Homo-oligomer: A and B are copies of this chain.
Amino acid sequence: MTGKVIIVGAGPGPADLLTLRASTALRAAEVVLHDDLVTAEVLALAVQSARTLNVGKRCGTRSTTQDHINALMIWHARRGKVVVRLKSGDPAVFGRLGEELEALRRAGVPFEIIPGVTASSAAAASVGITLTDRNSASALLVVTAHNVRGEKLRASGFDPQRTSFAVYMPGPDYGSTARDLMESGVDANTPCVLVSHAGRASEQKCFMALYDLPFALGVAAPAILLVGEVARRVPEHTHKDVSDLIPNVLSALESESEGVLRTKLRA
Chain A residues engaging chain B, CB cutoff 8 angstroms: 9, 11-12, 14-21, 23-24, 51, 53, 55, 62, 64, 67-68, 70-72, 74-75, 90-99, 101-103, 105-108, 110-111, 113-118, 120-122, 124-126, 128-136, 138-144, 147-149, 151, 153-159, 162, 199, 230, 234-240, 242, 245-247, 249-250, 253-254, 258, 262, 265, 267
Contacts and interface: CB of A to CB of B under 8 A. Distances in A.
Copies of this chain, tallied across the complex: 2
A26 to B, nearest CB: 11
Contact of A115 (B125, B157, B254): B125
A67 to B, nearest CB: 5
A130 B92 contact: yes
Contacts of A234: 101-102, 105
Given A139-B141, A149-B138, A11 B17 contact: no
A92 B124 contact: yes
A237 B158 CA distance: 39
